[in-house]
Amino acid sequence: MTMKLFLAAITKFLLGVALVGVLIFLPAGTFSYLNGWLLMGILFVPMFLAGIVMMFKNPDLLRSRLKAKEETREQSLVVKLSGLMFLAGFVVAGLGIRFHWYVLPTGVAVGAAVVFLIAYILYAEVLRENTYLSRTIEVQENQKVIDTGLYGFVRHPMYSVTLLLFLSMPIVLGSVYAFLIFLVYPFIIAKRIKHEEKFLEEELDGYSEYKQKVKYRLIPFVW
């Protein structure tokens, strides 16, 4: 662990907390938005704990996860579309509170929170299985194909997990309208996967053989 890495991680974390808080509570016009606090809690508490674990046990993985700038125009577009989705979804959820739009029952939101936390556990398992994971598409030095654990079911378990995470978020917020916005995510991530697989076939030894072994990209028996 280095002080530079610590400062980079804690700065990014605090900026994330502030940004999501503004996007949720400012449109709502109130801090009395329990669904908003529920999402903030299940999102940032595990994130903080996971960051601490990575900082001490695998700082290289944390460093790679902090890297977010995509090198290609196509992947940069995917990141921007995802950001726009979050922006629109969170704002719409907050506006729903301000203008008293339909809010899902509390039990549904709590159920979605449970799904979110289970997905977070799976997220941690993917990171444990594949320490080469980066937020950008790249092949690292000495990287090899991982084909065990969750990687034995789908070729991109990290994206499978983010599908659960992101689609549960608007439900936690209690907003059907935000959920409809977040439904664009599967199409966004499908675009990223197609481009990423082409890159990995060219740059990562054994990836073409791995594709033959594991047939499904994102959802078992579907795609």
Residue bearing the bigger pLDDT, 28 or 142: 28
Residue bearing the bigger pLDDT, 168 or 78: 168
Taking alpha carbons only, the member of 203, 51, 216, 64 closest to residue 150 is 216
Taking alpha carbons only, the member of 79, 200, 71 closest to residue 143 is 200
Quote the pLDDT of residue 80. Answer: 87
Counting every residue written for the chain, the total comes to: 223
Mean pLDDT of the chain: 87
- Joined together, the tokens standing for residue 19 give 């940004």
Q: What percent of the chain has pLDDT over 70?
A: 90
Give the 3-state DSSP-derived string for the chain, with helices as H, strands as E and coil as C. Answer: CCHHHHHHHHHHHHHHHHHHHHHHHHHHCCCCCHHHHHHHHHHHHHHHHHHHHHHHHCHHHHHHHHCCCCCCHHHHHHHHHHHHHHHHHHHHHHHHHHCCCCCCCHHHHHHHHHHHHHHHHHHHHHHHHCCCCCCCCCCCCCCCCCCCHHHHCCCCHHHHHHHHHHHHHHHHCCCHHHHHHHCCHHHHHHHHHHHHHHHHHHHCCCHHHHHHHCCCCCCCCCC
How does pLDDT run across 151-186, given as a tens digit for each residue? 889 999 999 999 999 999 999 999 999 999 999 999
How does pLDDT run across 30-60, given as a tens digit for each residue? 999 999 999 999 999 998 988 888 888 878 7
Confidence label for 200 from pLDDT (cuts 50, 70 and 90): confident
Residue bearing the bigger pLDDT, 74 or 114: 114
- Decide if pLDDT at 88 tops 80: yes
Which residue ranges make up each domain of the chain? Answer: 3-213
Quote the pLDDT of residue 138. Answer: 53
pTM of the model: 0.85
Instruction: Name the fold adopted by 3-213.
Output: Four Helix Bundle (Hemerythrin (Met), subunit A) (1.20.120)
Amino acid residing at 76:
S
Quote the pLDDT of residue 97. Answer: 96
Quote the pLDDT of residue 7. Answer: 85
Cβ partners under 8 Å of residue 145, min gap 6: 204, 205, 206, 207, 209, 210
Residue bearing the bigger pLDDT, 138 or 82: 82
Quote the pLDDT of residue 74. Answer: 67
How does pLDDT run across 100-142, given as a tens digit for each residue? 999 999 999 999 999 999 999 998 888 888 766 655 555 555 5
d(CA 28, CA 50): 29
